[in-house]
Structure 1
Amino acid sequence: MRMSTRRVIAPIALIGAAGIALAGCSGGPGSTGGGGASGGSDDNVVTVYGTIADTEAELLEQSWKDWEDENGIDIQYESSKEFEAQISVRAQGGNAPDLAIFPQPGLMADIANRGYLKPAPEAVQKNVEEGWTEDWANYATVDGTLYGAPLMASVKGWIWYSPSMFAEKGYEVPTDWQGLLDLSAKMQADAGTAPWCIGFGSDAATGWPGTDWIEDIVLRQSGTEVYDQWVANEVPFTDPAIKSAFDEFGKIALDPAMVNAGFGDVASIVTTPFGDPATALVNGQCSLHHQASFYDGFITDAGGDVAEDGDIWAFLMPPYEAGGESSGDVVTGGGEIVAAFDDSESTQKVQEYLSSADWANSRVALGGVISANKGLDPENASSNILKEAIRILQADTTTFRFDASDLMPGAVGAGSFFKGMIDWVNGTPTDTVLSQIEAGWPSS
C-alpha cells in the first residue's frame, strides 16, 4: 500500500484544536526531537515518523538497510494514519521524532513557522540544489529558509483506460478537454452504460480524489498564475475561475449517464473507496478513471498488466484547449518533504542520505514509486507508466505544480476542501460549497 503517495491521510484541521489543547504542555518551539525514549538519547539511533505504511513501509526500510549497516546508524521508522494531527501534538509535547516525512508542504510550513523544525544542514542544501528543480526546492522552503528535501513524488492527472478497447472501437486519445467530454459521450452512447468510475472514499480523508480533479482543471483552464494565486487565497474559492473548474468537473461527476461505472450512480462516488475502481478497470466494468501515477500499483494488484499494449494504460488529462498555453506537459503532482526536529550528527547524516540520488535509486528500484530527483535513473522504475512519469518530472519543459490542497493551510486543504467535495457530489449547490470551503481559510 502506498500510504503517502496514495494520500491516505488524516484531517489536518485537527491541528488547530490540538495546539490549543496542548498550549500549556511541556515542550515548544526550540525543543529538540527524539522520537521517545530512543531518539535523541542514542547517537546511533534516528527516529523517522510518517504516513507510509504496510508493504510500502517495509520497502522504505529495505531501501536504507545497506546504508544503515555501512554507517552504523539504526533508523527506526514509525507510521501513522493520524500523522497530520499527531505531529503537532508530539512537537508541542516535546516528543517529536528526529525526522518527519511530511506529505504536505503546507503542514511542514505550519510546523516550521511555529519554531519546531531545524534548517536543513549544508549537505542537504547541496543535494537539493543538485537534485531538484527550483519549484521542488521552494516546496521545502519557508520564508527563505530550506528546512528539508523532497523524497518520493507522483504525477497526477492520468486517465486510465483499456488500449484494446480503444483499438477495437476506434477511439483516440483526446487532445483537449472538450475532446475528453466528447469521447465520454461516445463511449456512453456505444455501450449504453456510464464510462467513468470515481471513488472519493479514503477513511478520514474521504474527498481528496475530487480535489485532484479540480486542481487539474484549474491549472489547465486558467493557467499557472491563477493556480498560484488560488493556493495563496489571492484568488478565493468563490472566484469564477474556480467555479468554472467545478462546473467542468460536474459534466462528468454529476451526470448519472457518465458515472459511476461498476458501483452505482452519482451518490456512490463518496462511498466508493478510491482504490476499488482499479478492479473495475481490469474487469471491464469501467472504461475511464482519473488518478495519479501511483495507481499503477493498484491496477497490478487487481491483476492487470499496465502497458501500452497491455490491459490498462494511461494518458495525461489533455489541455483545456489544444495548442493553448497549457499544451504540453502541464501537470499537478504530489510528494513528501523530509524535515528535522533534531540537528544531531546522526540525524543530519540520515537526512542527507534521504535527500540523495543514491537513496532515490535504491527505493525506486524496489518498485511502485518514483522520485523527482534529477539523478534518478528512469530505468530503475518498475513499470513503463512510472518511467514516463519520471521523464515528465525531470524534463525542463514540464510545468509542474504541487497539489494545491497540500499547499493550502490544513484547515482548508484537508478540511473544508475535502468536505466540500463530498457535499458537492451529494447535491449541495456549487455556490454554497465554494463559500463553505472559502470559510475554512484561517483569519490570519
Structure 2
Amino acid sequence: MRGRRAALAVALTAAVAVLAGAAVWLVRSAAPERGVTVLASWTGDDAAAFAELTDAFTAETGIAVNYQGTTALREVLLSQVQSGSPPDIAILPSLGQLAEYVERGLAFPLDGAFDERGEAELRAAYGAPWLSPEGLGEPGSIYWFPVKADLKSLVWYDRSRPSADPADGESWCLGMGSDATSGWPGTDWIEDLLLQAPGGLDVYEAWATGDHARWTSPEMRAAWRAFGELVTGNGSGRAVESLTTDYFVASAGLAPDAGPGAQSCALDHRESNARSAYGAADIAYSPSAEVFPGTAGAPNAWEVGGDFAALFRQDPDAEALMAFLASEEAQEIWVREASGDASTPLSAHAGAEAFTGDTDPLTAALTGHLRGAETPRCLDASDTMPPALREAFHLEVLTFLADVPAHLDDPTLLDALLQRLRATGESTAAAHATWLTSTCGPPPR
C-alpha cells in the first residue's frame, strides 16, 4: 500500500509542477497597430501547421495574426481574462471551461462573424454535437465550433504482431502522466466503458449534462470495475506503473521499434491523434465496443473531442478570422498542412475534403466515423464538465489506479470514491456552475 501511495504522490506532484513553469511559445508577431491574437495549446508541428493556415488568412485579408501556444492553456487564459487583456480568440478543448466564460459574458456570440446565410451554412457544416447547444448564452446564438476534431472509442493494435488478450493487463499501453491534466487517459476509459455498455447512450447523456446521481449508479460502478479488471488482468502491475508513465511514452510501446526500456504493449485505448506515437508499427484499430467485455459488439456512439474556437473580443478582424477558421477552405488547409506519415488530423466540417481510401484509407475510415450519421457522437464528458469536477475526476482515477485490487475487493472503497465525485458535482451545481444541455448527437437516421 505504501508503494502505491508513493506512486500516487509522485504523479500528483508531476501534475502540479507544470503550473510553476507554464511554457508559452510565440509563433507569429502581429503589427502593433493591427492584428488578431489567438491563444491555443498547439506547439511544435501543430503550431507550424496552424501558422500555414493563418498565413493564408493574412494573404487574403491583410490582417496579421499573433499566435501564442501554451502547455498551461487554462491557467494562461484565466490570467489574461482576469487582467482584462484576453486574446481575441481562444481555442481550447475544455467546453466546460468555455461554457463558464459564455455564461459570464466573457465569450461572445458569433453573430458578427456570420450573416443569416453564413450561420445556416455553419450549422449544416458541423451540426450536433460540435456547435454550442441551445440553452447557453443568448438564445439562438452560436459560441464555438471545432477547428480540429478527434475520434475516440478506439483500440489500436499492430497488425504485424500476434493477437493480444484484452483480459491480460500486460496487453494494454497505459500511462496517466500529462502534466497538469494527469489522469485524463483514465477518464477516457471510464467514459467509453459507460458509453458502450447496454443502454449506455442514455446513461452517458444524462450523466454528462448534470444528473449527479449517475455517479453512484450501478452502470457507473460497473464501468469503473471493468476498467480495473482489464488493466490488472492476470495480476498485472501496469495500473500502478501508469501513475508515473507519460501517456505518449506508454502509447509508443505499441511500436516494435520502441527501443530498450520501453513499456511493450499490444493494445492502446487512445483517440485518433495517437497515431503519431506508433512509429513504424503497422497500425489498425477496432471500435472499443468490439474489444470491451459486455457490449453489443457495435458502438452505441463514438466518443469525440476537439479544439474549439471562441471569440473573446468583439472585433471585426477577429470575427473575420473566426469565419475563416470555420470555413471549408481553412479546414482543408489545416488537414493538408498538419498531415504526415504518422498522423493526419481530422476535420468535423461535412464539406471539407477527406483523404480518399486510395491515398490514406485509415484517415478516410476515421473521418467516416467522425462525420457519419448512422452512429451518434458524444463529446468527451469530462471535457464538458465544470473545471472543478473535471479535475476531481482526474484525481479519483489516479486514486483508483494506485490500488485497484483494494477497490475491487472492498466495494465500500469504490462506493466512497464515486460518492466523492457525486458530492463534487452537486457542490459545483450549488455554486451555479454551467452545464451543457446536450453532449450527444445526431440520433441515427
Q: TM-score range by the shorter chain?
A: 0.7 to 0.9
Return the letter of the residue paired with 1:425: L
Alpha-carbon distance in 2 for matches of 1:350, 1:251 = 48
- Name the structure 1 match of 2:421: 437
Q: Percent identity, aligned pairs only?
A: 25
Match of residue 165, structure 1, among 157, 161, 167: 161
Map of 1:286 onto structure 2: 265
Aligned to 2:330, which of 337, 359, 370? 359
Tell me the equivalent position of 1:277: 250
Matched position secondary structure for 1:304: coil
CA distance in 2, matches of 1:279, 1:211: 20
Per-residue deviation, 1:321: 7.9
- Look up the SS of the partner of 2:90 in the other structure: strand
- Whether the 8 Å contact between 1:214 and 1:246 is mirrored in structure 2 is yes
Secondary structure at the aligned position of 1:136 is classed as coil
Q: Which residue of 2 aligns with 1:424?
A: 400
Correspondence for 2:166 among 162, 172, 184: 184
CA contact (8 A) 1:101 1:336 kept: yes
How far residue 215 of structure 1 moved from its aligned partner, in angstroms, is 0.7
Which sits farther off after the overlay, 421-430 or 200-209? 421-430
Change in 2 beyond 3 A, CA 1:97/1:314: same
Aligned counterparts of 1:321 and 1:204: Cα–Cα separation in 2: 31
Does the aligned pair in 2 maintain the 1:256–1:265 contact within 8 Å? no
1:204-229 C-alpha deviation (Å, 9 max, x unpaired):
11100000011111111142221111
Say if 2:254 is the partner of 1:254.
Answer: no
Unaligned runs of 5+ in 1: 1-9, 15-34, 172-182, 306-310
Q: Which residue of 2 aligns with 1:149?
A: 145
2:216 is aligned with 1:238:
yes
- For each residue in 1:194-249, what CA deviation from the matched residue of structure 2 results, as whole angstroms up to 9, or x when unmatched? 22221111111110000001111111114222111111231431222111110111
**2:194 matched residue in structure 1:** 218
* Maintained 8 Å contact 1:40/1:98: no
Contact kept in structure 2, 1:127 and 1:352, CA below 8 Å = no
Choose from 82, 100, 109 the match for 1:110.
Answer: 100
Partner of 1:71: 61
What one-letter code is carried by the residue in structure 2 that aligns with 1:216? D
**Counterpart Cα distance in 2 of 1:87 and 1:51:** 11
| Alpha-carbon distance change, 39 to 412 in structure 1, aligned in 2, over 3 angstroms | farther
SS in 2 for 1:76: strand
| Counterpart for residue 335 of structure 1 | 306
Per the alignment, residue 437 of structure 2 pairs with none
Greater shift, 101-110 or 403-412, is seen at 101-110
The amino acid across from 2:320 in the alignment is K
1:127 and 1:80 map into 2 onto residues whose CA distance is: 32
Contact kept? 1:412, 1:437, Cα under 8 Å: yes
Aligned length: 376
Cα distance in 1 for partners of 2:123, 2:194 equals 29
Match of 1:348 among 311, 319, 327: 319
State the TM-score, normalizing by the size of structure 1.
Answer: 0.78
CA distance in 2, matches of 1:141, 1:105: 14
Larger mean Cα displacement after TM superposition, 98-107 or 137-146 = 137-146
Q: Is this contact kept in 2: 1:140–1:148, CA < 8 A?
A: no
Report how far residue 39 of structure 1 moved: 8.1
* C-alpha spacing 1:375/1:322, structure 2 compared with 1 (3 Å): farther
Offset of residue 281 of structure 1: 0.9
* Pairwise CA RMSD: 2.8
